[in-house]
Every structure is written in structure tokens, then in C-alpha cells.
Structure 1
């Protein structure tokens, strides 16, 4: 069995690993984008709620309404903080996945180049062998005038 065919198995495995890394990278990027969108929504809701409450509060509100407002605002602040923490973890995970993807891609390219180089060498060797055989045959055939 030719060396290039044996290495084809290694190339197939490297390609499978690279494709899996592609999927993980896409999923990780998607998680970060979703987390950023959720954080923006929470921050906007927090800001809108605070502004609307302050506008209503200008005309006067009861102490119970203030306590309810403060409790709700605290819950929103906690939700924003939790989302920021989750987004920070997702971003860190994305960086690790990028490093893994880059490693898998480089490994795939290196194996691919090696297989291509070996195929070229095998092709050149086969051409040399064929030329050698043709030369030997041409020497064995004697012209009729001798």
C-alpha cells in the first residue's frame, strides 16, 4: 500500500477534527452574540424602567411604590450583573475554542501538505520507473539491420 494512501486516513481524521472545531467555533460565537444581545436588552429595559418611574415619580408617589420600585431595580441590577458574568465566561470560552480551532486547522493543513508532497514524490518515482522500463525495453529490441 502506498504511503500516501496510508496517510489519507490521518488526513481524514484531521479534517474531521477541523470540521468539529468549525462547529464548536460557530456555536461559541453564537452564544457570545446572544449574550451580548440579552445584556443590551436588560440594560435598555433597566434604563427605560428607571426613566419612566422617575417621570411618574415627579408627580408624587407613595412610599410603598418607592420600595417596590427599588426592589425591582435591585433585581434588574442583579440580572444585568449575572448576564455580564455569563457573557464574560462565554467570551473566555470563545477564546479557548478559537485557539483549538486554529490548532486543528493548522494540523489539517500540515497533514494535507505532507500528503500532497508524498503524492508528488510517488508520482515522480512512478514516472522514473516507467522511463527506466521503457529504456530497458528499447535496448532489448534489436533493429532488423543488425
Structure 2
């Protein structure tokens, strides 16, 4: 019969695979949030820059058509900012769920790893005891020459 630690090695391998997959998902989710934050910051910066440049140009006088074009563009830009904020909010919520999953997978892996290590130590101790027992039995079988 196989040792318990050997049988549980399969469970440990599966837990490790699950943990590594969770690591990848966590990394991807964090990257997605970072990219979303960077994109949102760029949109806000562009929005502010465009508004400031338009107001500077507008101080010298602009036509009603230019005002209408500016307002339409600013509305589209504001819509893009809102859309990015919603996407970022969704990405952050997903990141929290992925973190929970990663934590669960990591804890499971560590628990199985500790169990396998404990079983290996116990099996090693038992093997040492068995070896010592065999050595003791053999030493009793050998008769000294003076008897």
C-alpha cells in the first residue's frame, strides 16, 4: 500500500495548479485595474487641457458654430470619462472577487502542503523506528564469541 503522503501528493499538485492559476488571474485583474486607472487619468487630463485651451481661444472671440462643436465634443468626452469610470468600477469589483478566490486557493494549498509535510515527518519517524527495531533485533541474534 502506498504511503499517505504519496497519495496526497496528487491533491497537493492539484492545489498548486489551482493556486498558480489564481496567481495569473490576480495579476491580470490587477493589470486591468491599473490600465483602467491610467486611461481614466488620461481622459480627465485631456478633458481639462481641451477645456482650458478652448477657453483661452474663446477669450479672443469664437463663432456660435465653434461653440456648438466644442460643446458636442465635451459631451462625448464626458461620456467617455463616465464610461471609463464604470468600467474601472467593474474591474475593481472583479479584482476583489479574484483576490478572495486567490486567498482561498492559497490557503487551501498551504493547508494541504502542511498536511503532506506532517505526514512525511511522521512516516520518516516511523521508518526510523522500524529501522532501529530491526537493528536491535539483529544485534540480539548475533551471539558474542565468548558464550
Name the TM tier (shorter chain).
Answer: over 0.9
CA–CA distance in 2 between the matches of 1:143 and 1:50?
104
Q: Which runs of 5+ in 2 are unaligned?
A: none
CA RMSD of aligned residues (A): 0.6
Detail structure 1 runs of 4+ shifted over 4 Å in the superposition: none
Unaligned runs of 5+ in 1: none
Kindly report which structure 2 residues correspond to 1:1-146, keeping only aligned pairs within 5 A, or say none.
2-146=3-147
CA distance in structure 1 between the partners assigned to 2:36 and 2:66 by the alignment: 32
Deviations 1:8-44 (A, max 9, x none): 1111101100100010010000000000000000000
Aligned equivalents of 2:103, 2:66: Cα separation in 1? 55
Alpha-carbon deviation of 1:140? 1.4
Question: What TM-score results when the alignment is normalised by the length of structure 2?
Answer: 0.97
1:143 deviates by: 1.3
TM-score, structure 1 normalization: 0.97
Q: Give secondary structure in 2 for the equivalent of 1:65.
A: helix
Deviations 1:77-108 (A, max 9, x none): 00000000000000000011111111111111
